[in-house]
Amino acid sequence: LRASNSIIQKETGFINGLITVLHDITEQEKIDQERREFVANVSHELRTPLTTMRSYLEALAEGAWKDDEIAPKFLDVTQTETERMIRLVNDLLQLSKMDTRDYRFNKVSVDFVEFFNRIIDRFELSKSQDVTFVRDLPGEAVWVSLDEDKITQVLDNIISNAMKYSPEGGTITFAVHIEETANQILVSISDQGVGIPKADLSKVFDRFYRVDKARTRMLGGTGLGLAIAKEMINAHNGDIWASSQEGKGTKIFFTLPITQEEQKDDWS
């Protein structure tokens, strides 16, 4: 803490007050430190695909473009890396908008069960790997006020992680439970994948945090998916957390408040 003092003095010369302002410099230092780390992370994340692209483009320019077999492969690499950079920049823009509160929610009341089913259907129809989907959802409508695009993005991030880390033949379970006393829904998505070590559990929601950098980079991740999910769920007055057992699987939970059904005025 740093203190700065100001004396309040009357024209007559009498001192009749003293103002002490305490600045929490440790907090400021922490913010500065985080900002520096963030810039270092972004630079690193962009440099990796750029240097990869440079070497493949150099090889192409030096003659590989004439090789019918090699050229398409090298071009494919540069395309993959470009797409990774686009994903990264889009994720960064999203986070920056949330940080500066430069976004507007377009909240509507939706039946979460129907909404969730639609998203799961999309993944089920396009999945190429051998995973089984299990749905444990209420048999009735549950009304939640949400921004459909934002919560779709949250679910996309969580579900694509569950798919990425699932073993062949694994099961992914989608559940929604109604918690009446808290007036909220508890949503969970669980997989039977590699899991997350205990020490890393709370950190996976931090920006750029990855348990295994090399592996997740190979899987095309940006390290920002869960950080974005957390910002969005918090902005909907919900919480998000994870539980996991290494080698057994991971379960991501989040809550969202239930919308009160419109009360009919009953004055008569």
Binding residues for ligand ADP, per CB under 6 A?
Answer: 157, 161-162, 165, 191, 193-196, 204, 209-212, 216, 221-227, 250
Q: Which is nearer to ligand ADP, 243 or 259 (CB)?
A: 243
Per this entry, what is the length of the chain? 268
Q: How far is the CB of 134 from ligand ADP (least distance, A)?
A: 15
Q: How far is the CB of 140 from ligand ADP (least distance, A)?
A: 29
Q: Which is nearer to ligand ADP, 142 or 154 (CB)?
A: 154
Q: Which is nearer to ligand ADP, 238 or 249 (CB)?
A: 249
Q: What H or E segment, with its residue span, contains residue 20?
A: strand 15-23
Whole-angstrom Cα distance, residue 62 to residue 195?
A: 44
Cα 138 from chain centroid?
26
Q: How far is the CB of 242 from ligand ADP (least distance, A)?
A: 7
Q: How far is the CB of 247 from ligand ADP (least distance, A)?
A: 11
Comparing CA positions, the residue from 161, 118, 162, 124 lying closest to residue 137 is: 118
Q: Which is nearer to ligand ADP, 94 or 250 (CB)?
A: 250
Q: Are 175 and 188 in contact (CB under 8 A)?
A: yes
Q: Are 107 and 242 in contact (CB under 8 A)?
A: no
Q: Are 114 and 139 in contact (CB under 8 A)?
A: no
Q: Which residues contact 182 (CB under 8 A, 6 or more apart)?
A: 255
Q: Helix, strand or coil for residue 140?
A: coil
Q: How far is the CB of 261 from ligand ADP (least distance, A)?
A: 34
Comparing CA positions, the residue from 193, 191, 185, 164 lying closest to residue 116 is: 185
The number of beta carbons lying within 10 Å of the beta carbon of residue 144 is 24
Name the token pair of 140: 């009735």
Residue facing ligand ADP at closest CB distance: 221
Q: How far is the CB of 180 from ligand ADP (least distance, A)?
A: 29
Q: Which is nearer to ligand ADP, 138 or 167 (CB)?
A: 167
Whole-angstrom Cα distance, residue 59 to residue 109?
A: 54
Q: How far is the CB of 127 from ligand ADP (least distance, A)?
A: 15
Whole-angstrom Cα distance, residue 131 to residue 173?
A: 10
Q: Which is nearer to ligand ADP, 150 or 210 (CB)?
A: 210
Q: Which is nearer to ligand ADP, 21 or 218 (CB)?
A: 218
